[in-house]
Amino acid sequence: MKKIRILIADDHNIVRQSIVSLIETSPDMFVVAEAEDGQKMIEKYFQFKPDVVITDISMPRMSGMEAAEVLLSKDSSTKIIFLSIHNSDEYIYKSLKAGACGLIGKDILKGELIEAIRSVAEGEKYFSGKSEEELNSIVKRYDEISLKGTGSKIDLLNHREREVLKYISQGLTSEEIATKLYVSKRTVDVTRISIMDKLDIKTAHQLIRFAVEYAYKNKESF
């Protein structure tokens, strides 16, 4: 029986080891290499030529998204599954657009991980159990939003993200926002990162400017 050869990329060793432990319980697959960032992931891919790459989206030096783009430009047959703390529709959309074959949450259960790997290895897609029809619907919906520009991408934000953006527009720090929302500063920081990702904003300064400008133009709805 031909085994599925897997490359794992994540900047947290404990996460990599957890995935390795889950995979090692399945007789039809094994891990050929590990990488701690996007650049190493590219190097290890061409060194070991795995059947499936499992990579975190956010990593230092080069993100999983950026590394996936490089790999797919050099080898369009690369089969990539993204790992993320987020697996909502907007992240499914971003993953599909990046050329990935799958997206699973970091809180995965063994059964889901194994199912995702087998599905992708066989040429199928695996996005949190979504059907092909559901994936097509997600792509169509977010394509329409993207065509309308950054201003309309505000529709991608959930209620908590809108709240944080509103407080950012008022000049509050993460600590102050955390107090307002009765959550931890870490929760606010993670929410800020999610907002920036969804709105395609690269820096904290750009986020503040966007929040202020949006609040000024949308006083009644913000």
pLDDT digits (tens, 9 = 90+) for 157-178: 888 999 999 999 999 999 999 9
Whether residue 34 sits in one domain with residue 128: yes
Whether residue 81 sits in one domain with residue 17: yes
Whether residue 45 sits in one domain with residue 82: yes
Extract the tokens encoding 40: 């190493």
| 29 vs 26: CA distance, rounded Å | 6
Model confidence pLDDT, tens digit, residues 100-132: 999 998 777 678 899 999 999 999 999 977 888
Run of H or E including 120: helix 110-121
Whether the model clears a pTM of 0.75, i.e. scores above it, the answer is no
Helices 38-48, 64-74: inter-axial angle, 10-degree rounding = 30
What is the extent of the structural domain holding 170? 149-217
Residue 144 lies in a domain: no
DSSP summary character for residue 2 = P
Whether residue 107 sits in one domain with residue 19: yes
Residue 181 lies in a domain: yes
SS3 call for 188: helix
Whether residue 174 sits in one domain with residue 74: no
Q: Using only C-alpha atoms, what is the Rg of the chain?
A: 19
Whether residue 42 sits in one domain with residue 16: yes
Run of H or E including 4: strand 4-9
- Asked if 116 contacts 53 with a C-beta cutoff of 8 angstroms, the reply is no
CATH number of residue 30's parent domain: 3.40.50.2300
Whether residue 25 sits in one domain with residue 88: yes
Whether residue 170 sits in one domain with residue 97: no
In the chain, the number of structural domains is: 2
